[in-house]
Amino acid sequence: MKTACRNLLFTMFLLLAMFAGSAGSSFADSLSGGFVRYYDDGTSGTLNLSDGNTWVLTYSNLDLDAFNGNLELLFGDRGPGSSWRKFSFRIRTDFGGPGAHRIEAWDSEWSSLKSSHNLTLGQGLDPIDLRMIMSQNPDDSWHLVPFFRLNTGEWTLFNGGAFDSDLAFDLTKTMMMLQFPMGASGTVTFDPPTAQPGNVLCAPDATNFSIANPTETVAVEYAGGASGLLYAYSITVSWDGAVVYTDSSRVTQGSILSDQGGTWFEVHSTGTNTLTVDCTLLGSQPGVAGPGTFFEIEFDALTCDTSVVDVEVVEAVDKDNNPLTGFSEDDAILYVDLAAPVFTIEGPYPDSLCHNAAPVLDLSVLDACADLDDAFFKIDAGPWQSDANLFTDYAGGSWSNAAWTLPGFAGLSEGPHTVSFYCVDDFGNVAGTVSWDFIKDTIDPSAAAGFAALPGHGKVHLSWTNPGADFDHVIVVRKAWDGTSPFGYPEYGQPAVGYPADPNDGVTVYSGTDDSYDDVVSDRSTYFYRAFVYDCAGNKNGGAAPIDPLPDPFAAGDRSTNYWLGDVTQSGGGGYDGFVDFFDINALSGGYRKYSPSSPPAAPHDELDIGRTDDDSRLGVPIPDDEIEFQDLVLFAMNFNVVNPAGKERPIVRLADRGETGQPLLRLGAAEGAAEVGGTITVRLFLEGNDAEVKAASVLLSFDPDRLEWVESRMSDALASAGAFVFFLSGTDNDGNVWLDLAALGTGETIHGSGELAEIVFRAKADGGAGVRFAEADLRDAEGARLYASLGDLEADVSGSVPAATQLVGANPNPFNPTTSIRFDLRSSERVELRVYDVSGRLVRTLVDETRSAGSYGATWDGKDDAGRSVASGPYFALFRAGAYESTSKLVLVR
């Protein structure tokens, strides 16, 4: 408390600790041996005494229950020599039995016993108070009136009465001492002595009003020492009405006169915030010497501030109506605080966060009455405790610590916890408790498992399994084979840089909670990936990464190229297109079997040196050997027409526009006559209008697998006998598609003129029309540039019959990915419309909008809309109209 009273008590407590080394509460001292002194010398003074007419010296709450022997309380000045004791109290404990203490008042170095009083049995078992009223005589000696008070009783004059000191002394050099004489033992607990000027006193002389105690009572007491016996008095009391409130109805009479007999007592207002209290005895009573209580006033607190209660004895008379003199008033001070402090946790937010080290909080406290005192914290259901980085006995109305660190974190268990705070001000007003939740987590999470990295075109597909518990997020970090351009590509000299050593060692490509990611990276290299799993506290686990010239995959990491092995060129030359096709085969032929370790390939042929791989697979990590031969050819062949930029298992080639004048024509033709079921149909692939000299061709043909079965594809006799080296390869997916790639290998080699390129042999499986159509086609010139060609489909008639009816046959395959053929029959020539709609009825793609003759037809849908954009997976509907006929078929696209 920051009141004068509180400061006085607290300073005395510190002096007690210095001189006696004993402990006590903030309101009491204790003495177990030796002595304790209290001074008034201007430096360590605590009594604030000065010369004056009247002073009251009080020793309060002397608890002698645990004490045996005598206790001495000495008072005097510190003049020259050792004879400083001017008067003393001596308590002889249990003098007449338990609690029957003898209290003595001595003068002049124990030379003269001036007054005494014997307590009866049991009276001294509770704490007692001693009081000496001192009135200064003209010769600077002092008139001394000793009193005692039992627990809650009234002040009682010693039986021996008052006395005058033998010697004069200077009150401004006062020292008081409590000491154990020889033979004493035990502990005495007491309130440090206080001194009040005057003999008209307010009790208490300092009062605190708080939220818990908004109403308090102040007693106006008389200690005695006036010029005669008191018979009547008139006393005024004033206060600050903005701070506290009272009125005449809240003044009650004390006992100083009423204990003597009948009285007349009246209170009335005599000015703003001023009351006058008048009281007189009735009858022939002689009056009283004191001490006693004039009256008590009850005050209500109004606002945060301080008010002085000014007491003035206007008039006092004896029984003969003679004025009395010798009154000296001591005012009271009222301290008001009706505002509780506000304790705030400013951050961090949100709470419930995980921590692997002691949390650091931003704390602040505000008290509107500017009188903070102590702050406390606790963890979970533990005890409230103070901390040096909070505040204790704080002076001021605001406090903050933006970096308060939670004590005792190391001793907490793993898991959730709550730290709570509250504080009090000097008046005992308590701030509401505030709390902050956190999770202690100092244990590393489990590492990711099953990490796999697979190549793509300009990207690497990553997948892994996150732990099921103690998981917050995962960070995937990437490092290239070598740290500087060209990052090890294409020859990959060993040792490799290897896996990231930590999350900061490389490029973070992914951070989140998913379990897969496509890392798009343009610079070609073999990349090493490592997943670091984090829990909510930031603990991490990246598994145990191997360290070797070419580190193996491990549970939390893998390595992969970001390109397809064999993808060394694109159509038109330069760069890469994500395909391993006849352009790359053509590039391979340019460096095939031309190099050895003693004469290694240089750019651009060094890119052809891709074999073998670490696991002999087409997706493995290349281990170049400075030769371009069979190992490399095998990898080219394995990826040929298998990979593409989207990573699908079939290359997606843009279909050339139809029917533009002056373009070359790819046409399908069949042998004359119809085949019987079980017989074969040979479809011929013709190139016509070849003015541009085609170097390579790639086609994808679709057919109805229920009616036809692919048998084989053969290079035409014309190509086979041309004398040039021609690459030729064909195959099927057994799902209604057959692909065929051919190229004239070698620099400058092309297919000259027009004619038959290949024969594709099918076996007839059922009667009826069996169409073979172009699904995709690509022609390239000698420089690799695209040539746009017109296409001519073929309808093969197995039985030679015309369709019996116009109908929508349906789609095959269905479900499909990425293309399907939608077949329909025409009984006669009709205007035909074939369109694809989504489930909302929105037009997606127009496949046919023209007149066609009788026959069986098919139209291919590649899963794109009219703008060439891929559409989402799901159901679609094909609407077929031919004359008056209309039918719908459901399609299911599965990506």
Q: Could you give the C-alpha distances from 396 to 308, 371, 428, in angstroms and in order? A: 22, 5, 15
Contact 784, 572 (CB under 8 A): yes
Cα atoms in the Cβ-side hemisphere of radius 13 Å centred on 99: 11
Sequence-ordered list of residues with C-beta below 8 angstroms from that of 504, at least 6 positions apart, any chain: none
pLDDT at 140: 77
Of 682, 656, 651, 662, nearest to 791 by C-alpha is: 656
pLDDT at 326: 86
Sequence-ordered list of residues with C-beta below 8 angstroms from that of 41, at least 6 positions apart, any chain: 78, 173
Q: Could you give the CA distance from residue 780 to residue 82 in angstroms, rounded to a whole number?
A: 126
**In terms of CATH architecture, what is 342-440?**
Sandwich (2.60)
pLDDT at 51: 62
Q: Could you give the C-alpha distances from 670 to 246, 699, 773, in angstroms and in order? A: 121, 17, 12
Sequence-ordered list of residues with C-beta below 8 angstroms from that of 615, at least 6 positions apart, any chain: 621
pLDDT averaged over consecutive 10-residue blocks of the chain (895 residues)?
A: 30 28 45 73 50 76 87 72 70 90 84 88 88 81 86 82 80 74 83 79 90 95 88 97 97 94 95 96 91 95 96 96 91 94 90 88 94 95 95 93 95 96 94 95 96 95 96 97 93 95 97 97 96 95 95 97 89 72 80 87 92 87 89 73 51 30 57 64 76 72 86 84 69 82 62 80 78 77 60 49 84 86 86 93 89 76 84 94 93 90
Whether a cis peptide bond, with omega within 30° of 0, leads into 181 is no
Contact 225, 200 (CB under 8 A): no
Sequence-ordered list of residues with C-beta below 8 angstroms from that of 854, at least 6 positions apart, any chain: 802, 803, 826, 827, 828, 829
Sequence-ordered list of residues with C-beta below 8 angstroms from that of 636, at least 6 positions apart, any chain: 565, 566, 580, 584, 585, 588, 610
pLDDT at 820: 84
Q: Could you give the CA distance from residue 31 to residue 270 in angstroms, rounded to a whole number?
A: 49
Q: Could you give the CA distance from residue 53 to residue 198 in angstroms, rounded to a whole number?
A: 7
Q: Could you give the CA distance from residue 286 to residue 307 in angstroms, rounded to a whole number?
A: 37
Contact 860, 819 (CB under 8 A): yes
Provide the CATH topology of domain 4-197.
Jelly Rolls (2.60.120)
Tell me the residue type at 535. Answer: D
Provide the CATH number for the domain formed by 807-893 in this structure.
Answer: 2.60.40.4070
Kindly give the pairing relationship between strand 737-744 and strand 755-764: unpaired
Q: In a 10 Å sphere around its CB, with 0-12 CB exposed, 13-18 middle and 19+ buried, how is residue 208 labelled? A: buried
Q: Could you give the CA distance from residue 816 to residue 895 in angstroms, rounded to a whole number?
A: 8
Contact 202, 59 (CB under 8 A): no
Sequence-ordered list of residues with C-beta below 8 angstroms from that of 862, at least 6 positions apart, any chain: 652, 655, 775, 818, 819
Q: Which position has the token pair 């000496």?
A: 132
Q: Could you give the CA distance from residue 615 to residue 891 in angstroms, rounded to a whole number?
A: 41
Phi then psi for residue 587, to 5 deg, are -65, -40
Of 525, 546, 555, nearest to 621 by C-alpha is: 525
Stated pTM of the model: 0.53
Provide the CATH topology of domain 200-336.
Immunoglobulin-like (2.60.40)
Q: Could you give the CA distance from residue 477 to residue 336 in angstroms, rounded to a whole number?
A: 64
Of 95, 142, 138, nearest to 116 by C-alpha is: 95
Contact 34, 42 (CB under 8 A): no
Of 168, 174, 176, nearest to 141 by C-alpha is: 168
Q: Could you give the CA distance from residue 307 to residue 790 in angstroms, rounded to a whole number?
A: 107
pLDDT at 571: 59
Q: Which position has the token pair 């080296």?
A: 725
Q: Which position has the token pair 């994808």?
A: 700
**H/E element holding 590?**
helix 582-591
Q: Map out the domains of the chain as residue ranges.
A: 4-197, 200-336, 342-440, 449-561, 569-652, 665-797, 807-893
User: Count of CB atoms within 10 A of residue 66's CB?
Assistant: 12
Interaxial angle between packed helices 582-591 and 630-639, expressed in degrees from 0 to 180 and rounded to the nearest 10: 170
Question: E strands, 443-588, where?
Answer: 449-455, 459-465, 473-480, 507-512, 516-520, 526-534, 540-541, 557-561
Q: How is residue 166 written in tokens?
A: 């033998």
Provide the CATH number for the domain formed by 665-797 in this structure.
Answer: 2.60.40.680
pLDDT at 261: 92
Evaluate whether 200-336 and 807-893 have a shared fold.
yes
Q: Could you give the CA distance from residue 398 to residue 395 in angstroms, rounded to a whole number?
A: 9
**In terms of CATH architecture, what is 449-561?**
Sandwich (2.60)
Kindly give the pairing relationship between strand 206-209 and strand 332-336: parallel
**H/E element holding 885?**
strand 885-893
pLDDT at 161: 85
Cα atoms in the Cβ-side hemisphere of radius 13 Å centred on 472: 15
Q: How is residue 613 written in tokens?
A: 């791989």
